[in-house]
Amino acid sequence: MKRSLTSSIGAQIERFLEFKRSQGFKYDTAEYYLSNLDDYWAANGYDNKFSKEHLNGWFIRGEHENPDTHNYRTSYLREFGRFLQSQGNRDAYIIPTGLSKRGPKYMPYLLSENKIEKFFETCDRITPQKDNPDKPLVLSAYFRFLYCCGVRTGEARLLKTDNVNLAQGYADIINTKGGKSRRLFLSNELIKLFDEFDSKISIYYPSRTYFFPCNDNEPYSSQAISRAFNKIWSDAGLPRGCKPKPRAYDFRHHFAFANINRWVKKGINVNGMLPYLMNYMGHSSIESTFYYIHLIPEFFGVYSEKTRALESMIPEVE
């Protein structure tokens, strides 16, 4: 714990966090919210009865609170209530699902074959700068990792060199969203690209911590990646002012659609393959993966026509 808990349920919160972390969850965000709950509990002088009445004041969504933030906060309370019941406290209140609504999901930008090709052609032409001569190398490899493996932008930024094994052809994504880890096997084309990248970048950073370094011991910030993506997009002459706005994260969405499209063309049962896609992409539940199926009726027809080349670099999820 980063701070001491002083309320009557503080010890129970600590046991809950220990239990979750023993299962492989990072749970740092949960610790933050539950520490705030502990402050609220202590300030009101509540006993250790985890009741709906005690929770009401803290559960209410704040006037300026983001719906997603409220949903996350609520989900941790729900898990805590379930934990208490599993420990024999049958009266512990479990917040019903559906009481907290998430904000509208971001609609992915459809990346066509032509746009992807133009993006990488421009990315590969970035001119080295005196103060950052390795930048073209890093960005070219970084964005291809997003495109080829569908990883989250933060997972790629924070990927450590020690967690990449090119001899065996895999990268380990450690303690990511939800505190889970997974192993991604890479296509032969991507292994070759990463081998070349590793040899070149090691000249600048022979003992680098991060696989895609900004300097020897620091990763690129999310803001820097966003700026780089926007500049490459603009320099490539790709459409501006689009709605939804293209983002680096759309490479992840493209990865999901590319696999689904491949299965459809091969006549493979998509529903049967979704659990494999869920595991590869690091989704915590199958519902997150079904999200892409729900979007397909809106633009699957145009999508299948626009994405035919470049598929050899995307490892098929099996």
Q: Give tens-digit pLDDT for 135-145.
A: 999 999 999 99
Q: Are residues 20 and 60 in the same domain?
A: yes
Is the confidence at residue 74, as pLDDT, over 70?
A: yes
Q: Are residues 186 and 55 in the same domain?
A: no
Q: Are residues 222 and 291 in the same domain?
A: yes
Q: What CATH number does residue 248 fall under?
A: 1.10.443.10
Q: How confident is the model at residue 263 (pLDDT cuts 50, 70, 90)?
A: confident
Answer whether residue 102 is part of any domain.
no
Q: How confident is the model at residue 298 (pLDDT cuts 50, 70, 90)?
A: very low
Paired with 173 in beta bridges are 182
Q: Are residues 144 and 244 in the same domain?
A: yes
Q: Are residues 261 and 124 in the same domain?
A: yes
Query: Measuring CA to CA, how many Å separate 173 from each of 123, 144, 180, 222?
Result: 25, 16, 8, 17
Question: Which of 59-73, 85-99, 165-179 has the weakest average pLDDT?
Answer: 59-73
Is the confidence at residue 215, as pLDDT, over 70?
A: yes
pLDDT at 188: 96
Better pLDDT: 60 or 280 = 280
User: Please, are residues 190 and 205 in contact by the beta-carbon 8 Å criterion?
Assistant: no
Is the confidence at residue 66, as pLDDT, over 90?
A: no
Q: Which 3-state string (H, E, C) describes the chain?
A: CCCCCCCCCHHHHHHHHHHHHHCCCCCHHHHHHHHHHHHHHHHHCCCCCCCHHHHHHHHCCCCCCCHHHHHHHHHHHHHHHHHHHHCCCCCCCCCCCCCCCCCCCCCCCCCCHHHHHHHHHHHCCCCCECCECCHHHHHHHHHHHHHHHCCCHHHHHCCEHHHEECCCCEEEECCCHHHCCEEEECCHHHHHHHHHHHHHHHHHCCCCCECCEEECCEECCHHHHHHHHHHHHHHCCCCCCCCCCCCCCHHHHHHHHHHHHHHHHHCCCHHHHHHHHHHHHCCCCHHHHHHHHHHHHHHHHHHHHHCCCCHHHCCCCC
Answer whether residue 1 is part of any domain.
no
Q: Are residues 160 and 239 in the same domain?
A: yes
Last residue of a domain, one of 37, 67, 86: 86
User: Please, are residues 58 and 95 in contact by the beta-carbon 8 Å criterion?
Assistant: no
Q: Are residues 62 and 182 in the same domain?
A: no
Last residue of a domain, one of 44, 68, 86: 86
Is the confidence at residue 299, as pLDDT, over 50?
A: no
Q: End-to-end CA distance of the chain, in Å?
A: 40
Q: How many domains does the chain have?
A: 2
Q: Are residues 57 and 122 in the same domain?
A: no
Q: Are residues 134 and 249 in the same domain?
A: yes
Q: How confident is the model at residue 317 (pLDDT cuts 50, 70, 90)?
A: low
Answer whether residue 101 is part of any domain.
no
Answer whether residue 107 is part of any domain.
no
| CA 96 from centroid of its chain's CA atoms | 26
pLDDT at 314: 45
Answer whether residue 4 is part of any domain.
no
pLDDT at 257: 87
pLDDT at 311: 43
With b for 16 or more beta-carbon neighbours within 10 A and e for fewer, the 285-303 pattern comes to: eeeebeebeebbeeebeeb
pLDDT at 28: 78
Answer whether residue 301 is part of any domain.
yes
Q: Are residues 156 and 257 in the same domain?
A: yes
Mean pLDDT over the full length of the chain: 86
On whether the pTM is more than 0.75, the answer is no
Q: Are residues 82 and 118 in the same domain?
A: no
pLDDT at 82: 93
Answer whether residue 92 is part of any domain.
no
Q: Are residues 63 and 130 in the same domain?
A: no
Answer whether residue 211 is part of any domain.
yes
Is the confidence at residue 117, as pLDDT, over 70?
A: yes
Q: By residue range, what is the domain housing residue 137?
A: 113-313
Most confident of 118-127, 214-223, 267-276, 302-311: 118-127
